[in-house]
Structure 1
């Protein structure tokens, strides 16, 4: 039974890699139908706060389920518990905290909401089941340079992501409308500092977990966020004549 599920997880990882390829090709062709770009797309819409809560919920629920079920064989090992906790902490913030802090978020297209929900269900299962049932680490893995470096990147990335979201939420003072150029933090270097933080976070997770599952998730994150970041970057340059020319798209000083 466990062998069958491990084969299933392997197949799902390769499927996620294929989805990353399809995502970057598809989004480059048609753009991302969300946020400020969604009004140009027809279709049913879901209010922003419940959409965020529901679509992110599976990626919080899966690791929680693995923690409480008695048959989670590998969670007796410290590295597995810490890695699964890293995944869970991110999605607790995205599921329970981020939606509450949204200010005037635009409704989400139903198709975008459904795809996000399906991905979080799919990826939440892959990461949670692998770490709780199949991933084998030495007990001292938490002192290995790969884990320590990955954990540091994960933590720094999460801080950048949360801080950048805070900057974006507070661009407008009460009663103001319209768009402004983000200032401060990593926005002085890139147009999509919040995306850069999330990318660093999952690259750190991939390094700390030293797993194909983590690497493919990081690649999927790159494929989706890079396309969105390019869209943001182009929009800012078209919208604001004084937009800083030195800012990169996603990765400071590089891209």
Structure 2
């Protein structure tokens, strides 16, 4: 396989790379349209998992820890497998960005999923999440390893370091907010309480805000359409959920702080 690749003439290589770039562009537009579809759908109704599941509907349910582990794992495992089977060694820039992507999903798969005390998840939601995470893990990994070119000069580019700072700031917000939510109730408890501390003093969806910030930081660091399309998808899919949580708190807690916004501090 390697020998065959090395035998391809320079012009053929360029055409092959252009074909890959075209596929990446179309997939990126597809992700953005899918995200906008989620946004429109969630304006009408909440995604049925967690507090929005109606037990009377008789859905097949999966324990929260099992569901989160299964659906997050492909986003970590697929890029790692792509890296392990890559025919060419990765540049420092590509390796750094791929490790950044995988770090988020390592935390979500092997730490967050094992600590969560959430309600069971509908089987159909888990399966759809597995499919999406598998596709996105392949898409992001494939782009970085087969399409992107990050020379050594990229390590001195301001976009890389600004993006990484934003990414890790968002990750810190996300992890800290999840920790606050976990401490609201003990294992076995199902009632809801008002989260306090951290960015929850300003917004109802601090954990969602942190993840949105993460992926826009990643988009800046990679400066690529695939990463931006995923960041937009994330915002469109979990941003409305933060808004639904905000309405839930306002409806069920009379003393809920009126100064809190839903997703973005001081704005919305």
Which band: TM-score by shorter chain? Answer: over 0.9
Give the length in aligned residue pairs.
252
Structure-1 residue corresponding to 2:74 = 58
Structure-2 residue corresponding to 1:45 = 61
- Partner of 1:230: helix, strand, or coil? helix
Q: Which has the larger radius of gyration?
A: 2
Change (3 A) 1:30 1:65: same
CA deviations 1:109-133 (Å, max 9, x no partner) are: 1221121111101111110000011
CA deviations 1:128-172 (Å, max 9, x no partner) are: 000011101231212211111100000011111011000000012
User: Paired residue for 1:91, among 105, 130, 133?
Assistant: 105
Moved more, 155-164 or 22-31: 22-31
In the TM superposition, what are the counterparts of 1:166-181 in structure 2 within 5 Å?
A: 166-173=179-186, 178-181=191-194
Structure-2 residue corresponding to 1:141 = 154
CA distance in 2, matches of 1:44, 1:100: 21
Moved more, 54-63 or 188-197: 54-63
CA distance in 1, matches of 2:59, 2:186: 31
- Partner of 2:54: helix, strand, or coil? helix
Change (3 A) 1:209 1:174: closer
Q: CA deviation at 1:2?
A: 5.4
CA distance in 2, matches of 1:121, 1:2: 23
Q: CA deviation at 1:18?
A: 1.2
In the TM superposition, what are the counterparts of 1:186-197 in structure 2 within 5 Å?
A: 186-197=199-210
> What's the Cα RMSD here?
1.6
User: Paired residue for 1:106, among 119, 129, 150?
Assistant: 119
Change (3 A) 1:174 1:57: closer
Question: TM (normalized to structure 1)?
Answer: 0.93
The answer as to 2:79 corresponding to 1:28 is: no
Q: CA deviation at 1:191?
A: 0.1
Structure-1 residue corresponding to 2:12 = none
CA distance in 2, matches of 1:5, 1:121: 19
Q: CA deviation at 1:60?
A: 0.6
CA distance in 2, matches of 1:219, 1:70: 28
Change (3 A) 1:177 1:31: closer
Q: Extract structure 1 runs of 4+ deviating beyond 6 A.
A: none
Structure-1 residue corresponding to 2:265 = 252
CA distance in 2, matches of 1:63, 1:81: 11
CA deviations 1:83-113 (Å, max 9, x no partner) are: 100100001111111111012x211112211
User: Paired residue for 1:182, among 167, 171, 195?
Assistant: 195
